[in-house]
Amino acid sequence: MSTEDQQTRGDIRGTARGSAPAPLSILDLAPIGAGFTPTQALAATTTLARSAEEWGYHRFWVAEHHGMPGVASSSPAVLLAHLGANTRTLRLGSGGVMLPNHAPLVVAEQFGLLEALHPGRIDLGLGRAPGTDQATARALRRGLADEGADDFPQQLAELTHFLDGDFPSGHPYSRLTAVPRSAERPPIWLLGSSGFSAQLAGRLGLPFAFAHHFSAANTVPALELYRSSFRPSAVLAEPYALIGVGAIAVPEGGREQARRLGRSAALGMLRLRQGRPGPIPTPEEAESYAYSPSEAEFVESWLGNVVLGEPGEVADGLEGLRKRTGADELMVTSHIHGHEVRHRSYGLIAEAYGLTAA
């Protein structure tokens, strides 16, 4: 496939819907809030994916996390198969699969199967972090020898050969086939929160997704490194980067009401960093929590990276961030308590950013 054909198909470069100035997508973790079950969380994610398709979001990605009681998306491939069966046109992908946790052949089979089930709609986003604590990572990687983040480039090369069926002659895996393998394979994205994946994505000519929502200080340097390292490939002639952005929109009450919702996510992240993961706290619990000075500082820092407020404020904030960073696409994420308020937030953002405009 030529570079021109690949870009024309639009399976990498996003589509800006309505009057939106750029493509807008969603990163979802199937969040489990206090008082809710995993079944309810996954049902809410399915409903959100259907609505995202109607609202005009371009992609809907789910992320691999383990050992976190507040996250139900431990197996992206399983969840993506379900979401694909419940949507028609929405691009679906992993944001991402943590490659060091898996044998590359397994990932090639899973995403080859997803591509066969939902042709032309699957993205394969790959990360090099474990997505969990060290003990859980060791349990996941039993049988994978000592491979980990340091072996990521080699694992990526092996996965790519499995997807393309082009191991060189004489390679130990040259006679192996990842089944099913479609004529077109899902595009590979590299994910990161530092410069390593940015540089690797640029060197390989792959699209890049940066986790601005939890590494905002590194966003601009990483994107600059990606662009300066970029080499045209059969996949992309020019760099293409999206950034993940925490965003919360409320119909009224302004920034303070949005911050009230955001504090529950911030408290959940604080507990995770302290080794005490749990379901997402309610806003009431977050309000009544007795924060130490260092904990209060963490929460304020976390909220400082979230674009929040009434819909117009959020749309302006997102567009300002896109222009400052030069990102080609924005992927919003709202990891807050309460399925209805989360669903409403994404709908308000879609409308304010222009996705639903004629």
Q: What is the pLDDT of residues 283-329, one digit of tens each?
A: 999 999 999 999 999 999 999 999 999 999 999 999 999 999 999 99
pLDDT score for 263: 95
CA 62 to chain CA mean position, Å: 6
Round to the nearest angstrom and report the end-to-end CA distance of the chain.
33
* % of the chain with per-residue pLDDT over 70: 93
CB 208 within 8 A of CB 239: yes
pLDDT score for 4: 41
Per the document, the length of the chain is 358
CB 65 within 8 A of CB 75: no
Q: Is the dihedral of CA 263, 33, 132, 86 positive or negative?
A: negative
Q: What is the pLDDT of residues 60-117, one digit of tens each?
A: 999 999 989 999 999 999 999 999 999 999 999 999 899 999 999 999 999 999 999 9
The mean-pLDDT minimum among 81-95, 131-145, 175-189 falls in 131-145
The mean-pLDDT minimum among 39-48, 203-212, 229-238, 250-259 falls in 250-259
* % of the chain with per-residue pLDDT over 90: 84
CA atoms within 13 A on the CB side of 268: 24
pLDDT score for 5: 40
pLDDT score for 67: 87
pLDDT score for 132: 61
CB 343 within 8 A of CB 38: no
**Average pLDDT taken over every residue of the chain:** 91
pLDDT score for 131: 56
**Model-wide pTM > 0.75:** yes
Instruction: Give the residue from 348, 350, 320, 338 showing the smallest Cα distance to 262.
Output: 338
Is residue 46 scored above 60 in pLDDT?
A: yes
